[in-house]
Structure 1
Amino acid sequence: MKSHNVSLLSQTKQTAFATLMMVGLTVSPLVTAQEVLTPLKAVSEGRMIKGQLDGFSNEDKHKQIEKLKLHAQQHVSSKNVFVLRDERIAAYQQGQLTSPDLSSMNMQQSTLDTKVNINRVQVQQAQQSGFGYRDFAIFQAYSRLFDDLDQDGFYHTFSVAFDADVYGYTLNEPANVYAEMYLSRNGGPWEHYYTTDVFTIYGQSEDDDFEVLTTLSQGYQTDFYDVLIDLYEYGYPEVVATLSADEADGLYALALESQDRDVVYEQEIIEEVVIVEGGSLSWWALILLIAGLFSRRGVMQKIH
């Protein structure tokens, strides 16, 4: 009987242990996944700049950042199934992703076209005849960090500027291009955060840099992030040039966090006032204390 009870107890312990293990296996991943599944949201704006002179200057950056933050609050993020870089590259090759609309080229770009006496039709004709036969490169890139509200050294707004070049058959040969921008958290996978509008580059000109200002609105943990830029020629599904933190120091280890983590907590100081209410016992204690002091003073005078 004793042996049977011991065996039954052992089986009960094993069953309970197995149940706890199953609960742990089913509950723990859900808790962890809750943080992982927080959707990433970044709102960006890009513009053409002349070299490194015009861009998002310190004077107007606050206005631009406030616009981005307002847009982030109003923005309803749609589910993007092509988040990872390899997925997006394959999607372009298979026709599941297409180039941005050429009509997105803004007035600033049209002015630049007119300045060099090349219109949009000429750009299209030049690039269509050169698909796969011209070389592209991203010559350089640099970054700037803005807005660290809690002053912990991690910022929720940053900009990336880069200079793309095309090596064709003529001087200042034009090409319509756009860029896919990716972030990698502490050596992790490259995750897409922005696709630029189509813009035109001219040969190896230094006056056709492009800058992207980004506010990380949600889901980006406090950490160091690398940046990668994939350059595409408009209408061509393959990556024509790439630049990442491996080649450019300006894209390496940016101290970033999303806006929902960059919060200043105000310390509230509470002053405690202690009020002692005296009853009859307190008053008698005070009288006895005073009487004792006078009695002690009288004794001291007699001694002297």
Structure 2
Amino acid sequence: MAGLLFLSGIALADEGDKRVSVTIKSLKSEQASAVANREEFDALVSTGPRSLVKGRDALSKAGATSSRTPNVDFWFYTADVQLFNDHDNDGYFHGIDLLFDADTIYSSAEVYAVVYLSFEGGPWNEYAETENFIVNGATSDDEYIIITELISGYPSGSYDLLIELFDAWDNSFLAWIGPDDTSELAFLPIEDADRDAPLAPVPEVIVVHEHGGGSMGWLLLLAMGGLAAARRFRGAPSA
């Protein structure tokens, strides 16, 4: 899969401790017209309880409820994750291709979803929020995709993923699906693109045998010098 950053042409500067990502969000049926957007979040919180947060300032809005009890009229039928982009081949990926299907007993309902990552069992950190979309009963024609490249702010490690569904009208909590519900959302080997730089290639050493005098050829000396420089580069501590 081609990188979203390359496809979008979005320039990303150094943002310090902030988490930066590039994300496409849309109904699966509308993926062809979806546009990648740069998103920015506060620094990753890695210690503390896994407390859940409400979507779109729900607690501050009139009529919003603070209940965390799922609404039995809504549920997640499935959630699937495919990881992509491991440029340094260390087993950690900086791309997340998430697909989920939310269902309801009603013929249609307008909802939105908030998606979180948890680093090494720590608190949930929001990394994406959808636009409002329509759930059509218990059909599969409303599957939703969130394709993300994590650019910075995500250390290498094991991550869990959580999806929460909210009512678009009053922001009330409807349903969730997470690592306790499906292994698809558990123990994901993830890192950001800043940590996924490919290793510098080691130049091939060409040995040139010259006749006379027993001296090494100048090409051999040049190759050995390049190899030594490459080893110093590979051995330097990462930033």
Query: Normalization by structure 1: what TM-score?
Result: 0.53
Shift in alpha-carbon separation, 1:158–1:89, aligned structure 2, 3 A = closer
1:5-30 deviations in Å (ceiling 9; x for gaps): xxxxxxxxxxxxxxxxxxxxxxxxxx
Q: 1:189: Cα distance to partner?
A: 0.5
What residue number does 1:117 align with?
none
**Is it true that 1:154 corresponds to 2:133 in the alignment?**
no
Q: 1:256: Cα distance to partner?
A: 0.8
2:26 corresponds, among 47, 52, 77, to 47
**Is it true that 1:200 corresponds to 2:138 in the alignment?**
no
The residue type equivalent to 2:142 in the other structure is D
1:176-225 deviations in Å (ceiling 9; x for gaps): 11100000112111000011011111111121110110110101011111
Identity of aligned residues (%): 28
2:19–2:41 Cα contact (<8 Å) kept: no
1:52-109 deviations in Å (ceiling 9; x for gaps): xx968xxxxxxx9xx85xx54xx6x3769xxx8634459312239x9xxxxxxxxxxx
Alpha-carbon distance in structure 2 between the residues aligned to 1:158 and 1:86:
21
Alpha-carbon distance in structure 2 between the residues aligned to 1:256 and 1:226:
10
2:18–2:42 Cα contact (<8 Å) kept: no
Q: 1:267: Cα distance to partner?
A: 3.5
What residue number does 1:263 align with?
197
What residue number does 2:160 align with?
226
What residue number does 1:189 align with?
123
Alpha-carbon distance in structure 2 between the residues aligned to 1:271 and 1:178:
57
Alpha-carbon distance in structure 1 between the residues aligned to 2:126 and 2:145:
17
What residue number does 2:101 align with?
163
Alpha-carbon distance in structure 2 between the residues aligned to 1:200 and 1:241:
15
Computing the radius of gyration from Cα coordinates, the structure with the larger value is 1
1:92 corresponds, among 58, 71, 79, to 58
2:17 corresponds, among 38, 46, 59, to 38
2:56–2:171 Cα contact (<8 Å) kept: no
Alpha-carbon distance in structure 1 between the residues aligned to 2:71 and 2:157:
41
Q: Write out aligned runs for 1:208-287 (5 A).
A: 208-269=142-203
Q: Structure 2: state its 5+ residue gaps.
A: 1-15, 44-49, 65-69, 208-212, 214-239
Alpha-carbon distance in structure 2 between the residues aligned to 1:210 and 1:187:
26
1:232–1:241 Cα contact (<8 Å) kept: yes
**Is it true that 1:143 corresponds to 2:78 in the alignment?**
no
Shift in alpha-carbon separation, 1:55–1:248, aligned structure 2, 3 A = farther
1:85–1:182 Cα contact (<8 Å) kept: no
Report SS of the residue matched to 1:207: coil
Q: 1:49: Cα distance to partner?
A: 2.1
Query: Normalization by structure 2: what TM-score?
Result: 0.66
Alpha-carbon distance in structure 2 between the residues aligned to 1:92 and 1:215:
27
The residue type equivalent to 1:38 in the other structure is D
The residue type equivalent to 1:258 in the other structure is D
Alpha-carbon distance in structure 2 between the residues aligned to 1:233 and 1:85:
20
Structure with the bigger percentage of helix: 1
What residue number does 2:210 align with?
none
How many aligned positions are there?
186
1:48–1:211 Cα contact (<8 Å) kept: yes
Structure with the bigger percentage of strand: 2
1:85–1:192 Cα contact (<8 Å) kept: no
Report SS of the residue matched to 2:112: strand
2:103–2:135 Cα contact (<8 Å) kept: yes
Report SS of the residue matched to 1:229: strand
1:225–1:255 Cα contact (<8 Å) kept: yes
Alpha-carbon distance in structure 1 between the residues aligned to 2:22 and 2:195:
16
